[in-house]
C-alpha cells in the first residue's frame, strides 16, 4: 500500500474526533442511506444502495473510538483488518479479527463492531455483484474435496444457511496485496479506477477461494476422529483408497468402518469415494484436453461403463459431451 494512502487512513476523521470525546457512536452515514421499511421489519438499521450512486464498489475506513451497533445491509460487505485487531458479532457469532484477516458477509447478514483504538484500521469494501454469492464461493472450493465439504457441514451444523466467512490470511501475501491495490485505486481515483477495482475484486474472490481453510472444532468422539481420518484419506488418495486398505491401516473390521462412516456422514464410503472421483474427473474434463480414458485413469476408475454411468448421474451429461 502507498504510504500516502496509509497516512490518510491513519488521520483522525471529524466523526472520530466526536467519538473520542464521548466514546459513543457519532454516525456520519447519511439518513437516506438507511432503508426505513426494512429497518422496521428487521428491528435493526438496514443500509441500502445509496453508496453505489456514483461507483460500483464502495470503500471506506470504519470509524474508530466507539463500538458500532448491530445493523444489516442490502449488499455484500468485506471487512479487511488492515492493522491491529477488532471484535465483531456476526449473525450471533463472536469473531475476532487480527491483521490480515478478511471477513466476507452476505446480503442480509447482521453484525456489530467493537471498539477500535488508534492503531486499529478496519476497511469496509461494499459491492452488489449478485453473481458472487457465498454458496458459489463454497461450491468452488468444496467441489474438489469431500473432506472440505464435510468440515463445512460440521462447522455450520443444521443451520443450513451460511451468511458469512472468515478468512485468516496472515501468511498469504497475494490476498493482502490485492486488497491493498483495491484501496490504493479507490483513494487515488485515477482514470478507470472503478473498472480496475472491479477486476481486482474478482481476483480477490478467486484468491480467497484458493486459500480458504476451514477452522473447525476438534471432533468430540473417537468415531468422529476416525471418520475425519478416512475422509482425509479419500481427499488425498481417491485414486487407490479402499475400505479394505483403511481397515488394515486403522486396524478395524471392514464392516465396522463402513457402519461408522455411514452413521457420521450420512452416506456410504463408496458414495463418498465416487463423489470425490467424479468431482476430480469433472475438473479434469473442463480444464484440460486429456482424453476421457486418461481422466478415468487419473481418478482411479478402470470400468468405462461404470464411469459414464456415474458421471451422467452427477452432471446429467456424458464425459465426452462435457467438452
What confidence score (pLDDT) does residue 144 get? Answer: 61
Residues of the domain holding 292: 222-315
DSSP, residue by residue, 257-290: HHHHHHHHHSS-HHHHHHHHHHHHHHHHHHH---
What confidence score (pLDDT) does residue 95 get? Answer: 94
**Cβ distance 112 to 136 under 8 Å?**
no
Give the strands of the sheet with 121-127, arranged side by side: 57-61, 121-127, 76-83, 102-105, 164-167
**Does 308 lie in the same domain as 262?**
yes
* Structural domain ending residue among the three candidates 188, 211, 234: 211
What confidence score (pLDDT) does residue 130 get? Answer: 47
Crossing angle of the two packed helices 269-287 and 254-265, in degrees rounded to 10: 70
What are the residues whose beta carbons fall under 8 Å from the beta carbon of 137, sequence distance 6 or more?
Answer: 104, 165, 205, 208, 209
**Does 201 lie in the same domain as 81?**
yes
**Does 197 lie in the same domain as 49?**
yes
Residue 216 in domain: no
**Does 155 lie in the same domain as 235?**
no
**Cβ distance 241 to 210 under 8 Å?**
no
What confidence score (pLDDT) does residue 308 get? Answer: 95
Residue 320 in domain: no
**Does 64 lie in the same domain as 7?**
yes
Residue 89 in domain: yes
What confidence score (pLDDT) does residue 116 get? Answer: 96
**Does 178 lie in the same domain as 294?**
no
pLDDT (tens digit, 0 to 9) for every residue of the chain, 323 residues total? 899 999 999 999 999 999 999 988 887 777 877 878 877 887 777 877 777 777 788 899 999 999 999 999 888 899 999 999 999 999 999 999 999 999 988 888 899 999 999 999 999 999 875 445 445 555 555 556 666 666 656 555 544 456 788 888 665 688 999 999 999 999 998 999 988 998 898 888 878 877 766 555 565 688 888 998 999 999 889 999 999 999 999 999 999 999 999 998 889 999 999 999 998 898 888 878 899 999 999 999 999 999 999 999 988 888 887 66
What confidence score (pLDDT) does residue 159 get? Answer: 42
- Provide Rg for the chain, Cα atoms: 24
* Structural domain ending residue among the three candidates 211, 246, 276: 211
What confidence score (pLDDT) does residue 299 get? Answer: 95
CATH number of residue 295's parent domain: 1.10.10.60
**Does 201 lie in the same domain as 227?**
no
**Does 262 lie in the same domain as 194?**
no
Residue 321 in domain: no
What confidence score (pLDDT) does residue 214 get? Answer: 59
What confidence score (pLDDT) does residue 73 get? Answer: 86
Residue 42 in domain: yes
Residue 323 in domain: no
Domain count, the chain: 2
Residue 275 in domain: yes
CATH number of residue 180's parent domain: 2.60.120.280
Residue 295 in domain: yes
- The kind and range of the H/E element at 85 are strand 85-90
**Does 301 lie in the same domain as 246?**
yes
Amino acid at each position: 500500500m502507498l504510504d500516502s494512502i496509509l497516512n490518510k487512513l491513519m488521520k483522525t476523521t471529524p466523526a472520530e474526533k466526536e467519538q473520542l470525546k464521548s466514546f459513543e457512536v457519532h454516525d456520519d452515514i447519511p439518513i437516506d442511506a438507511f432503508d426505513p421499511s426494512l429497518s422496521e421489519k428487521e428491528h435493526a438499521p438496514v443500509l441500502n444502495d445509496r453508496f453505489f450512486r456514483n461507483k460500483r464498489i464502495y470503500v471506506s475506513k470504519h470509524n474508530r473510538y466507539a463500538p458500532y451497533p448491530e445493523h444489516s445491509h442490502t449488499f455484500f460487505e468485506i471487512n479487511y483488518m488492515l492493522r491491529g485487531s477488532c471484535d465483531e458479532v456476526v449473525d450471533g457469532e463472536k469473531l475476532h479479527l487480527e491483521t490480515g484477516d478478511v471477513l466476507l458477509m452476505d446480503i442480509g447478514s447482521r453484525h456489530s463492531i467493537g471498539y477500535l483504538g488508534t492503531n486499529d484500521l478496519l476497511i469496509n469494501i461494499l459491492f452488489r455483484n449478485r453473481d458472487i454469492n457465498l454458496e458459489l464461493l463454497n461450491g468452488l472450493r468444496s467441489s474438489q474435496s469431500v473432506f472440505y465439504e464435510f468440515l463445512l457441514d460440521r462447522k455450520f451444523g443444521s443451520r443450513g444457511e451460511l451468511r458469512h466467512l472468515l478468512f485468516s490470511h496472515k501468511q498469504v501475501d497475494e490476498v493482502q496485496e490485492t486488497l491493498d491495490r483495491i484501496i490504493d485505486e479507490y483513494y487515488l481515483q485515477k482514470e478507470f479506477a472503478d473498472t480496475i477495482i472491479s477486476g481486482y475484486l474478482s481476483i480477490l474472490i478467486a484468491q480467497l477461494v484458493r486459500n480458504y481453510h476451514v477452522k473447525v472444532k476438534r471432533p468430540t468422539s473417537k468415531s468422529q476422529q476416525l471418520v475425519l481420518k478416512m475422509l482425509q484419506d479419500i481427499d488425498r488418495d481417491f485414486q487407490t483408497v479402499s475400505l479394505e486398505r483403511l481397515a488394515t491401516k486403522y486396524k478395524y473390521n471392514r464392516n465396522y468402518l463402513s457402519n461408522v462412516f455411514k452413521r457420521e456422514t450420512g452416506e456410504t464410503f463408496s458414495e463418498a469415494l465416487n463423489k470425490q472421483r467424479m468431482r476430480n474427473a469433472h475438473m479434469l474434463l473442463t480444464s484440460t484436453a486429456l482424453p476421457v480414458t486418461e481422466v478415468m485413469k487419473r481418478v482411479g476408475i478402470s470400468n468405462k461403463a461404470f464411469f459414464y454411468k456415474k458421471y451422467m448421474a452427477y452432471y446429467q451429461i456424458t464425459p465426452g459431451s462435457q467438452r
